[in-house]
Amino acid sequence: MPYDDPDPGDPMLLVGVTLPAEEDSAEEMAYVFAEEFARLGFSEQRLLSLFQEPFYAGAHQALELLGENRIRGIVQEAVGMWGHFPYRVNEPVARPSWDVPVGALAFPGSTKAHNPDGDEV
Amino acid sequence: MSQVYNWQLGRQMSYPYDGKYPERQFAFVFNINRCIACQSCTMACKSTWTFSKGQEHMWWANVETKPYGGYPHAWDVKILDLLHQADPDGRRWRGASAENPQAPYGQFPGKTIFEAAEKFLEPPSARVLGYLPADEEWNSPNIYEDNPVGPKGVRNQFHLTGEQLPVHNTWFFYLARICNHCTYPACLAACPRQAIYKRPEDGIVLIDQSECRGYRKCVEACPYKKSMYRGNTRVSEKCIGCYPRVEGSDPETGGEPMETRCMCACIGQIRMQSLVKLNPDGTWAEDRQHPLYYLVHVAKVALPLYPQFGTSPNGFYIPPRWVPREYLRQMFGPGVDQAIERYSNPDRELLAVLQLFRRSNRIIFRYEIEEGPLAYEGLYRGKQVRIYNDTAIAFGENGRELFRTTVEEPLHVRPAKHQNSI
């Protein structure tokens, strides 16, 4: 990215062009963001904070154009439809025991062995 | 020139060679509604195939911001302009979308890049209408696109709020692109050395590096600009469709075909790639339970990129819902309105098939749906909606089940003991 002042003679200079959106474009974009992220498991609060984050340019633009109340309504609607996720806690898979004595994993000269499960032995 | 049938245009068209079709064709569907331009695909490809000296500007897979962006710059605007100059009155689709898989989008009577060359280019040996991008059009792939920039003169720091301009009621979207491994490749048609060929087993288009002499006719001809010249070896290179993975020779899968690097790296889950069966005339053979056949020919939510160029690209896109329709119709043809309507209000089968995206890195050849219970019933955007928690089951090449997933996919939560483990 060039940091110097713009050079009007530069053929690569960015020229702003108006590309007006259709009337309901911002609303449609907001619905798409809300639906896709709700389906990924985002909660209402998390989704709303995505819209509030200026670095999510598209979502934030929709919030600026439609206002926070409208976005909140869209988020609630999307989460209402897609937010029924059954949460599942995965229990650790039982592994076969090590086929070498743990003491054999000690570094040379060390009195402690390295245990991949994190416990010191 | 020979006459070949292009089902995307719904008519016969001129092509420098006779139609020769592979047994199965490499094809893919990208769902633009989900793309966040994270560039994971771009980097997966770069770090696998184009990391060497002389390939610095080469991005076989790229994601550009539309409508402004493009790699090389303004590639689509330039080729559309050339076609418009060559055939100003022909750029209209005729007829309605039909159930007929021979002409699902109606008919496009306008000149393709091959037909425009036939009529307008000199010398007569010129086979494809195109242009050769200048070096500076290749060397900054995302310049001025939707990328964060920092304050002037300060390195490694972004603006704290990111807001620099007043908010306009405008639009943009991200277009992920790779080589389309076209049924009628323009690169192949233009090569004076016949160094480019389409593999009979999977339709992947390759450049024979020992035959290429670097004339760059393929770079000039490919309307999608996915053939690139390498200065230090003085030959051209292009996307190889990760063919060792598609062949199943990657040791990870034990012989089972695997999707390309760019597909597998997609965190937005926008991508699905497979091999589709072809009829003797190059149209897709009916294969009702193939997920790509379903998305392209049954649900018709996935559309080819600039079909009017005439190369019959094998990359298909689910168009973004919020973008002005005129723009989308130019980019994806007349099927846009129906595709968006169906994607916005998916039926039971479409909803289940959409779950198949990126659940596995194995290539899916067939799917089945097992019906599940009603999971939601209510009003959404003023319409009555019913969602069933159906199960989509994916099968690999040998008919073995790859995975099964449900419409309401459970979120898997790590147990407390492993919250921070990698």
Do B411 and A58 lie within an 8 Å CB cutoff? no
Residue A86 per-residue DSSP state: P
Could you tell me which of B119, B75, B109, B107 has the C-alpha nearest to residue B89?
B109
Do A80 and B378 lie within an 8 Å CB cutoff? yes
Do B411 and A85 lie within an 8 Å CB cutoff? yes
Instruction: Identify all chain B residues contacting A29, using CB atoms and an 8 Å cutoff.
Output: 171, 321-322
Could you tell me which of B84, B335, A70 has the C-alpha nearest to residue B318?
B335
* pLDDT > 90: percent of chain B: 77
Do B170 and A31 lie within an 8 Å CB cutoff? no
For the segment A39-46, the average pLDDT, to the nearest whole number, is 88
Residue B314 per-residue DSSP state: S
Name which of B162, B320, B408 is nearest A84 (Cβ-Cβ). B408
What pLDDT does B217 receive? 95
Do B380 and A77 lie within an 8 Å CB cutoff? yes
User: Which of A74-78, A83-87, B64-68 comes out lowest in average pLDDT?
Assistant: A83-87
Structure tokens at B187: 């690169």
Structure tokens at B332: 């994806």
Summarised one tens digit per residue, pLDDT across range B9-49 is: 999 999 999 999 999 999 999 999 999 899 999 999 999 99
Do B402 and B367 form a contact (C-beta atoms < 8 A)? no
For residues B279-308, one letter each, b for 16 or more C-beta atoms within 10 angstroms of the residue's C-beta and e for the rest, the string is: eeebbbeeeeebbbbbbbbbbbbbbbbbbb
> What residue of A is the nearest CA neighbor of B145?
A14
**DSSP of B239-293, one letter per residue?**
--TTHHHHHT-SGGGTT--B--HHHHT-TT--EEEEEEEB-TTSSBPP-TT-HHH
Instruction: Identify all chain B residues contacting A84, using CB atoms and an 8 Å cutoff.
Output: 375-376, 408
Chain A, window 22-41: residues with a beta carbon less than 8 angstroms from a chain B beta carbon: 22, 25-26, 28-29, 31-32, 36, 41
Chain A, window 100-119: residues with a beta carbon less than 8 angstroms from a chain B beta carbon: none
To test the contact with chain B by mutation, choose from A52, A81, A82 the residue with the greatest count of B C-beta atoms within 10 A, namely: A81
Residue A110 confidence (pLDDT) above 70: no
Question: pLDDT band for position A108 (50/70/90)?
Answer: low
CA–CA distance, A63 with B203 (Å, rounded to integer): 45
As a whole number, the mean pLDDT across chain B is 92
What pLDDT does A96 receive? 64
Measured between CB atoms, does A121 come within 8 Å of chain B? Answer: no
Residue A113 confidence (pLDDT) above 60: no
Do B322 and A91 lie within an 8 Å CB cutoff? no
Residue B250 confidence (pLDDT) above 70: yes
Name which of B33, B163, B414 is nearest A36 (Cβ-Cβ). B33
For the segment B169-181, the average pLDDT, to the nearest whole number, is 93
Identify residue B219 by its one-letter amino acid code.
V
For the segment B148-153, the average pLDDT, to the nearest whole number, is 67
Residue A9 confidence (pLDDT) above 50: yes
User: Which of B70-79, B210-219, B404-413 comes out lowest in average pLDDT?
Assistant: B404-413
> What residue of A is the nearest CA neighbor of B142?
A1
> What residue of A is the nearest CA neighbor of B158?
A55
The CA distance from A104 to the nearest CA of chain B, in Å, is 24
What pLDDT does B387 receive? 92
As a whole number, the mean pLDDT across chain A is 78
Find tokens 């195109």 and name the residue: B130
Instruction: Identify all chain B residues contacting A12, using CB atoms and an 8 Å cutoff.
Output: 73, 136, 140, 143
What pLDDT does A79 receive? 93
Do A61 and B167 lie within an 8 Å CB cutoff? yes
For residues A83-114, one letter each, b for 16 or more C-beta atoms within 10 angstroms of the residue's C-beta and e for the rest, the string is: beeeeeeeeeeeeeeeeeeeeeeeeeeeeeee
Instruction: Identify all chain B residues contacting A92, using CB atoms and an 8 Å cutoff.
Output: 415, 417-418
> What residue of B is the nearest CA neighbor of A55?
B162
For the segment B262-284, the average pLDDT, to the nearest whole number, is 96
For the segment A58-83, the average pLDDT, to the nearest whole number, is 92
For the segment B98-125, the average pLDDT, to the nearest whole number, is 85
Identify residue A93 by its one-letter amino acid code.
V
Do B415 and A58 lie within an 8 Å CB cutoff? no
What pLDDT does B411 receive? 76
Instruction: Identify all chain B residues contacting A28, using CB atoms and an 8 Å cutoff.
Output: 321-322
Name which of A58, A86, A92 is nearest B415 (Cβ-Cβ). A92
Question: pLDDT band for position A120 (50/70/90)?
Answer: very low
Instruction: Identify all chain B residues contacting A61, using CB atoms and an 8 Å cutoff.
Output: 167, 170
Do A57 and B146 lie within an 8 Å CB cutoff? yes
What pLDDT does A1 receive? 45
> What residue of A is the nearest CA neighbor of B69?
A14
> Which of the two residues, A120 and B402, has the higher pLDDT score?
B402
Residue A116 confidence (pLDDT) above 60: no
Instruction: Identify all chain B residues contacting A58, using CB atoms and an 8 Å cutoff.
Output: 172
Q: Kindly state the helix (H) or strand (E) to which residue B330 belongs, with its residue range.
A: helix B325-332
Structure tokens at B39: 């560039």
Instruction: Identify all chain B residues contacting A65, using CB atoms and an 8 Å cutoff.
Output: 167, 169
Residue A101 confidence (pLDDT) above 70: no
What pLDDT does B119 receive? 78
Question: pLDDT band for position B202 (50/70/90)?
Answer: very high
For the segment B214-222, the average pLDDT, to the nearest whole number, is 96
Question: pLDDT band for position B68 (50/70/90)?
Answer: confident
To test the contact with chain A by mutation, choose from B135, B170, B326 the residue with the greatest count of A C-beta atoms within 10 A, namely: B170
- For A38, the 3-state DSSP assignment is helix
Q: In sequence order, what are the beta bridge partners of B271? A: B30
* pLDDT > 70: percent of chain B: 95
CA–CA distance, B17 with B351 (Å, rounded to integer): 41
User: Which of B101-105, B332-336, B416-420 comes out lowest in average pLDDT?
Assistant: B416-420
Note the pTM of the prediction, 2 decimals. Answer: 0.89
Residue B409 per-residue DSSP state: P
Contacts of B117 (CB under 8 A, 6+ apart): B126, B127, B128, B129
Q: Beta strand pairing status for B24-31 and B271-277?
A: antiparallel
> Which of the two residues, A102 and B21, has the higher pLDDT score?
B21
CA–CA distance, B73 with B71 (Å, rounded to integer): 5
Residue B186 confidence (pLDDT) above 90: yes
Answer whether the bond into residue A108 is a cis peptide, omega within 30°: no
Q: Quick one: angle between helices B336-344 and B325-332, nearest 10?
A: 110
Task: Report CA B144 to chain centroid distance, whole Å.
Answer: 23
